[in-house]
Structure formats: structure tokens, C-alpha cells
Amino acid sequence: MTSTQTTPLRYLKGHGTENDFVILPDAENETDLPAALVARLCDRRAGLGGDGVLHVVRSAAHPDARAMADEAEWFMDYRNADGSTAEMCGNGVRVFARYLEHAGHVTAGEVAVATRGGVKRVHLDKDGSVTVSMGRAVLSEDGVTVAVDGRSWPARNVNMGNPHAVAFVEDLAHAGTLHDEPPYEPASVYPDGVNIEFVADRGPRHVAMRVHERGAAETRSCGTGACAVAVATARRDGADPAATGTPVTYTVDVLGGTLVITEHPDGEIEMTGPAVIVAEGTLDPAWLAGTGA
């Protein structure tokens, strides 16, 4: 968006397990979103506030999604709170699908959403929950160590279309404040940065996590992170659906609620959780141009 914008810009606000997003409908990709504007929108004091921006564009209208247009009409052009782009956001894609339903673009049932991490299959349940087929996890044997306040832990390297480092801790408080990204070694394993999850056991196939998201600091929830955590925990517990032929399900508590993650024998991972639209309105053109209070 530039200073030439003379009309209000429509927005909505939504969240999935309190991972919250500014939603910008822009079917024909006519809105310029420089990183500085995204950061202003996500500012919790001077902007709307959010962990990221869901830019809603028809796949055929966006260069990053045209190749997926035959599979998915809509593209989730996801931006982190600092303005950087990201491959995928699990909570974001649930909220994105809920917006499509809210706007009348789709009805309850199966929906395909294009992302930089590929096309994601979403099921909008009539009870309000949303299930997303998140694809398959890629586990790496690259060793990583994460450190906080003098403590360090080995972390499992899991890729869910975006990178994750999963560390098991006795107490989630050991993760510290998570204002800044915890240091990890070797840094070369994640050349583009990483999402870091700290995980504590709560019961049989039940864990809790905290997460520092790349480009957003600690968030109340992370969908791809919950999937990475479930896969890493299953392997730690000796549960591999491909070996047993039986799906494995974990309940993952996040600060903002609960997600249910199921890994199937073919490797496909499904995530189920809530998605809510909470507000909508318009942005003042003067604020968008940088001249508003």
C-alpha cells in the first residue's frame, strides 16, 4: 500500500487457538504489502495487532500461486508479523478457510487452499472445528542444540513445509520469556531461521508446548509447530504409523487452547482445531499513508 491509496482498506481479524491474524481480502492482488506496512498492521499498540497477515488472493492473480490455480482457487499469501513471507501457517490456513466460508466463497465441507508450502486440503466441520491435511513431515538427522538461560537441550529437526526445532523439557518455564529467538547450534542447519518448540509431557499421547515463531517471537499457538511436535514425540515414544499401519493421535496443548494431531500410516498429517472470525472493518487511508496518528 502506498501513499496514493485514497479509499479505506477492508480488513477482518481472526484467530485459531489465539494465534491471531489480520485478514486482508484482495481477490485480484491489487494491494501492495511492503514489509513495513505488514509490521504496522501487526503492531499491537499502534496497529490492529496480530501474529501475521493473511492476504486473501485468487491463485490465478498471484505469481507465487498461478501454478496451483487448477487445484485451489484461493491463495494464502501469508506474512509474518515482521513483514517477511512464510511458506505455511497451520493456524492461519484454518482461519483463512473460515474467512472463505464467512465471505460466501465456499460452504462447509472440503476446501483447497494454495500456500507457498503447497496445496492444503481443509475440511470445515459444521460444529465449527476445522481439519487441515498438513502434508507429510520430513525428519532430518542433522543434530541441533537449543539453549536458554544456561540450559541446553538436543532438538529434533522436523520440516512441515517450514522448519522446526523440537526440544523436550521437564518444565515449560525453562523456555524463559521467549522475547528473543533462543540461540541454536549449528546455525547452518537453518539458513533461513527456524521455529523453536519447547515440549513437556502431560499424559499418554498428550503434551504441552510453547513456541518462538520465526519472525513473530512467542505466539499463543503454532499449527505447523504442533504437527512437528506430535511427530517428534511419536518418534521419541517409538510410535511410527508407517511401521505399525495404525494412525497415531496426540493432543497438543498450546497457550491458546488445544489442537489434535493425527499422523496416518501413509505419512499424511491432519490437524483439527477451532478458527474464529472476531471483527471486520476498514482502515483509514491517512493511517495507511503513514500520516495518521
Q: Does the annotation flag 19 for ligand binding?
A: yes
Q: Give Cα 145 distance to the centre of its chain.
A: 23
Answer yes or no: do 116 and 169 share one domain.
no
Q: Does the annotation flag 162 for ligand binding?
A: yes
Q: How many other CB atoms sit within 10 Å of the CB of residue 46?
A: 11
- Number of structural domains the chain divides into: 2
Query: Which grid coordinates are listed for 127?
Result: 460444529
Answer yes or no: do 152 and 241 share one domain.
yes
Q: Does the annotation flag 195 for ligand binding?
A: yes
* Confidence (pLDDT) at 59: 98
Q: Which domain holds residue 230?
A: 136-272
| Residue 229 within a domain | yes
Q: What is the pLDDT of residues 196-221, one digit of tens each?
A: 999 999 999 999 999 999 988 899 99
Q: What is the pLDDT along the chain (293 residues), one digit of tens a residue?
A: 343 556 789 999 999 999 999 999 999 999 999 999 999 999 999 999 999 999 999 999 999 999 999 999 999 999 999 999 988 899 999 999 999 999 999 999 999 999 999 999 999 998 889 999 999 999 998 889 999 999 999 999 999 989 999 999 999 999 999 989 999 999 999 999 999 999 999 999 999 999 999 988 899 999 999 999 999 999 999 999 999 999 999 999 999 999 999 999 999 999 999 999 999 999 999 998 886 65
Q: Give the relative orientation of helices 223-236 and 90-102 as an angle to the nearest 10 degrees.
A: 140
What sign has the CA pseudo-torsion 208, 213, 219, 225? negative
Answer yes or no: do 201 and 161 share one domain.
yes
Q: Does the annotation flag 17 for ligand binding?
A: no
Q: Does the annotation flag 213 for ligand binding?
A: yes
Which conformational region is residue 11 in: left (phi greater than 0), alpha (psi within -120 to 50 degrees), or beta? Answer: beta
The pTM is what?
0.89
| Residue 4 within a domain | no
Q: Does the annotation flag 176 for ligand binding?
A: no
| Residue 3 within a domain | no
| Residue 1 within a domain | no
Answer yes or no: do 110 and 187 share one domain.
no
The residues annotated with a catalytic role in the active site are 89, 222
Q: Does the annotation flag 150 for ligand binding?
A: no
Answer yes or no: do 56 and 91 share one domain.
yes
Answer yes or no: do 110 and 140 share one domain.
no
* Confidence (pLDDT) at 2: 42
Answer yes or no: do 21 and 51 share one domain.
yes
| Residue 2 within a domain | no
Q: Does the annotation flag 292 for ligand binding?
A: no
Answer yes or no: do 250 and 171 share one domain.
yes
CATH assignment at residue 235: 3.10.310.10
Q: Does the annotation flag 131 for ligand binding?
A: no
* Confidence (pLDDT) at 3: 39
